[in-house]
């Protein structure tokens, strides 16, 4: 569980998550190492687990607040996607399989990655291809500029969610990726809305969900 790691260990990931490299500084020199990676982490709402029914936390909201306060704001600001995973019930197990299976999802993701590689051009590095997450701010403003309704929604949400400049640009990058998965040339309001929904951090009130966070 992510909050079980020491805070200084988690905060040491801030620079690699932001710049894709780790810098070791000593008195006479700085050494840079490539460190571009995808962070996937999980956490319970509180240390008690916060599950439903008999597993529910009996210590109240303070337990969740203390547990989640182990994660610093600057570290959380570098997390692009938050997703609550409610417990699986017997009713869920009886549901029909989703209309889009793994093979179909893989094909859609591959198509979106090809779109991004064509958009930014090949890097010459055989190990990876350029993606929306790599876009500098000037380029991002060109390729991820939302339509008028999407821009209005983002401007309103930036105030309500207290988005930092980093958070604002990350919402645009996620929205651009959602649009690519949708096969859309432009970023529309629906793409901005979905990206903002992933930006909402778990409430942490012991309501029986596991929070998963992914940086991409």
CA triple 103-119-22, angle to 5 deg: 85
pLDDT digits (tens, 9 = 90+) for 142-168: 999 999 999 999 999 998 888 999 999
Place of tokens 């432009």: 186
Place of tokens 């010459």: 124
Q: What percent of the chain has pLDDT over 70?
A: 87
How many angstroms separate the CA atoms of 170 and 176, rounded? 10
- pLDDT at residue number 212: 43
């Amino acid at each position: 569980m992510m909050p079980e790691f020491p805070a200084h260990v988690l905060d040491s990931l801030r620079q690699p998550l932001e710049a894709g490299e780790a810098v070791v500084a000593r008195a006479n020199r700085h050494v840079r190492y490539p460190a571009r990676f995808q962070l996937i982490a999980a956490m319970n709402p509180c240390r008690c687990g916060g599950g439903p029914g008999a597993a529910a936390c009996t210590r109240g909201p303070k337990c969740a607040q203390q547990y989640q306060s182990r994660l610093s704001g600057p570290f959380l600001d570098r997390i692009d996607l938050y997703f609550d995973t409610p417990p699986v019930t017997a009713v869920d197990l009886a549901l029909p399989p989703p209309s889009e299976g793994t093979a179909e999802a893989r094909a859609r993701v591959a198509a979106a990655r090809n779109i991004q590689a064509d958009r930014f051009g090949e890097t010459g590095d055989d190990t990876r291809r350029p993606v929306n997450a790599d876009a500098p701010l000037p380029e991002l403003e060109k390729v991820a500029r939302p339509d008028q309704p999407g821009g209005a929604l983002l401007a309103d949400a930036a105030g309500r969610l207290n988005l930092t400049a980093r958070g604002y640009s990350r919402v645009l990058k996620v929205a651009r990726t959602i649009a690519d998965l949708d096969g859309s040339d432009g970023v529309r309001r629906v793409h901005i809305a979905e990206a903002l929904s992933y930006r909402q951090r778990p409430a942490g009130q012991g309501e029986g969900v596991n929070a998963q966070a992914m940086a991409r």
